[in-house]
Amino acid sequence: MPSKLFFTTILALLLLQCGTREEVPPKTWTIQNLKLHAQKAQVSEEKVRVKGLYVDQPVPMLLTNMLWPRVNSKMPDSVYLLLDVPKDNSEPADMPAYGSLVEIEGRCYQNVSGSNKELSIKVDHVRAMKSAAAQTKVYRPGRMEFQDFTDSVTAIPQLIRSQNCALLYSGGFDRAGAHIRFWNNLVFMYKTLVNVYGYSPKNIVVVYRAGTPETYGPGSIPVHFAAHPEGLQDAIQTLKSRLTGENDLLLYVTNHGGGLHRSIGPFGGRPDSIAPDEIDPGRFDESIDYYDFPAPLYDDHFAAMIGCLNFNKLIAVLQPCFSGGLLHDLRGPHRVLMSACKEDDLSYEHPTVPFDIFSYYVISALAKRDHRGNPVNADTDGDGRVSMLEAFEHARIIGAELDYLRLERREEPLLEDNGDGIGVFRPNARFGDGVLANSAFL
């Protein structure tokens, strides 16, 4: 009898304990602390609560700050947390608005995606921290907005086909970093080259993410190679066979870039220790991201690859953060190089359309229309053609007018074409940087 009483007591205690455990709410974490915790301990189906800003693009995530998805530099690991949203809960009506502050409850787990070890939350509950009405409306980048652009461009006659070549590149780092705007930028540039300037599709090499095109929207373009070292090398080999020394090469890079930020410090990139060539005060090599690959592409290697190509003239439009630092590496005669920002600074997404600011205005100027087909006239000298100098000036002036996110300092595009590797913010057609760009056309 005493033993029966003993077991009953133990059973009651166990049940009580289990019941109590069930009722203990999961610990509330910040994104940063949960990431630190996951680095130290193995997390597996651990129940957690996390607060953050919710976004659903390019994949569902919590963020510490809405600036991160806007800049063209890889997000630090501590500022975002991937979310697994259950299918039956993924209807827009059930999910919070883009950019709103939420508390997520769910179970965290780690998996390996490409070269990255990712921490994700399987979402059980989402609670908005403010009512929908109280939320500040945040611009959510869309996927279909360039549909009108593709419809508005008509193919030009076979008669005036261009012999020029192009390399269009975007890596994106990983699925959390590969923004929709990178693809939109590529599509806008590709359509402009083919439909407005008569580039032959066989002379345009597209290197993008894992090597396959996005499937959304009717504006799809071919993708030839994956954005990893072998893919880029294959792209260079292809261009070698297309370039004769008499045709031009357009190089367009839209992506994340790394370098030395003037106030934040290192942000990717690397100290210029291997074959030193840098002249900036920080002596830093800039980098461009691949997709799902552990190391980035450094400017020295990129410049060497471009340098082995036999083009008549190189026209480069460089969108990544720190892209001003690529100008010195890529310098040379017969080269018009333009960057979205300075060597020590970030470049940004456009605040109201799903493109990057600098790229959007350069491409619109060249296309003579925006992505919706509205006419754009950047031909300031009225000769009926848009020179690379006119396209740069159009982007520089309109970009400067955008008081984007009330940033203390906006991005400052640079143009370099006199071969000294130093870009200027105000080029001109008569002397120094700008002379070559004034006579350079697609």
Residues at the contact surface with Ca ion, assessed by CB under 5 A:
277, 285-286, 299-300, 325, 329, 379, 381, 383, 385, 416, 418, 420, 422, 433
Bridging pattern class, strands 80-84 and 116-128? parallel
Q: Which C-beta is closer to Ca ion: that of 259 or that of 354?
A: 259
Q: How far is the CB of 343 from Ca ion (least distance, A)?
A: 7
Q: Which is nearer to Ca ion, 84 or 277 (CB)?
A: 277
> Tokens representing 16?
């009580």
CA distance 305 to 237: 10
| E strand or H helix that includes residue 19 | helix 2-23
Q: How far is the CB of 290 from Ca ion (least distance, A)?
A: 17
Nearest Cα neighbor of 48 from 100, 129, 128, 120 is 120
Tell me the residue number closest to Ca ion, measured at CB: 325
**Cβ–Cβ contacts within 10 Å for residue 50, how many?**
23
Helix (H) or strand (E) holding 149: helix 147-152
- Considering beta carbons, is residue 350 or 369 the nearer one to Ca ion? 369
Nearer to Ca ion, 70 or 394 (CB): 394
Nearest distance in Å: CB 369, Ca ion: 16
Query: Please, which residue, 402 or 435, has the CB nearer to Ca ion?
Result: 435
Q: Is 373 left (phi over 0), alpha (psi -120 to 50) or beta?
A: left
Alpha carbon distances (Å) from 133 to 98, 306, 405: 13, 51, 21
Minimal distance in Å, beta carbon 173 to Ca ion?
19
Q: Please check whether residue 273 is in contact with residue 300, taking contact to mean a CB–CB distance below 8 angstroms.
A: no
CA dihedral 188, 342, 170, 148 (to 10 degrees): -20
Q: How far is the CB of 184 from Ca ion (least distance, A)?
A: 26
141 or 259, CB closer to Ca ion?
259
Q: Closest separation between CB of residue 74 and Ca ion, Å?
A: 17
